Structure 1
């Protein structure tokens, strides 16, 4: 992942720019009464392929990633692919933060314990 985003910390203004470059964020088009959300076709293909493998294997090695994936599936009702996309977006945002702040990955920062009222609000 890191060779694809390179060492230039000023290349992306924020995590959303990195997510768009990786093809993780959708394109939303709105005009008048119509709105559509489509997948991003112009992206870094190597980074896009790596994202699936990264998100697919992360729950096996990280209890926080596994809990996040299960919460997306069980509480939010996401399908497998949608839960993996959401997990990848979370991990990519954390990669951006670590890259900008020169810090190591911290699972407690990346996947904080959810508050009980947040889960009940999402379920209802």
Structure 2
């Protein structure tokens, strides 16, 4: 089903022989990605996000991938805090990384 006028889906056309298939993929929100990059980069001064970032770098991620992964982790923590009404706790959010770093 094509969604006309919706900017959140980008059509992908694949043609092979007699068949023609149009898929839709979600594209990222550029403003959220830019804000997340800055937020994750600024959070590297804290022990938890820094330990998570360093772990991702040791695993083999490049800087941008490790930073994006750190942002995704922090965004998940923010979602949890908003859903449960609990305040942010770094030891709960990055507990396994904090104990491994110490």
TM-score when scaled to structure 1?
A: 0.55
- Work out the number of aligned pairs and report it: 76
**Correspondences of 1:22-61 after superposition (within 5 Å):** 42-60=27-45
Q: 1:64 aligns with which of 36, 45, 48?
A: 48
Kindly name which structure, 1 or 2, has the bigger radius of gyration based on alpha carbons: 2
| RMSD of aligned Cα (Å) | 2.1
By relative contact order (CA 8 Å, sep 6+), the higher-ranking structure is 1
TM-score when scaled to structure 2?
A: 0.65
- Give the deviation of 1:41 after TM superposition: 5.9
Larger fraction in strand:
2
Q: Unmatched 5+ residue regions in structure 1? A: 1-20, 22-39, 117-124
Give structure 1 regions of 4+ aligned residues with deviation exceeding 2 angstroms: 40-46, 113-116
Q: Unmatched 5+ residue regions in structure 2? A: 1-7, 9-24
